[in-house]
Amino acid sequence: MLAQKLQDAPKMAIRIRESECDNCGACIEVCPVSAIEPPDGKTGPQTCRVVWERCTECVGYHAGPRCAEMCPLECIESDPEHLENRDVLRRKWHARAKEMRFE
């Protein structure tokens, strides 16, 4: 299963394969840190996208990337351009939890 593969993979941010995404929004609903943005609708991105600086790979919330588990098209994958490790992800989780208190 894709979500299990991502859980076992070396730690990387998550990204959406834009050419396959149909903007159903399921990933946005389940992201605990609001790291997935909807399409811009104007001149910006035309599909959902992960703000990798916010994504904790669900560390602190779930055993693995919840968005990948819920995506009906299986178009969420690891992002090798943004390698991370568990300590970094934990720090991001704490920082993001603080930010979200003020949103």
Q: Which residues bind to ligand SF4, rule: CB under 6 A? A: 14, 16, 21-27, 30-31, 33, 35-36, 48, 50, 55-58, 65-67, 71, 73, 75-76
Distance (Å, rounded) from C-alpha 89 to C-alpha 23?
Answer: 26
Q: Identify residue 28 by its one-letter amino acid code.
A: I
Cβ proximity to ligand SF4: between 27 and 42 the closer is 27
Q: Min. distance of Cβ 8 from ligand SF4 in angstroms?
A: 14
CB of 46 to ligand SF4, least distance (A): 12
Contact 12, 88 (CB under 8 A): no
E-strand ranges in 17-99 read: 36-37, 49-50, 76-83
| Residue closer to ligand SF4 (CB basis): 1 or 73 | 73
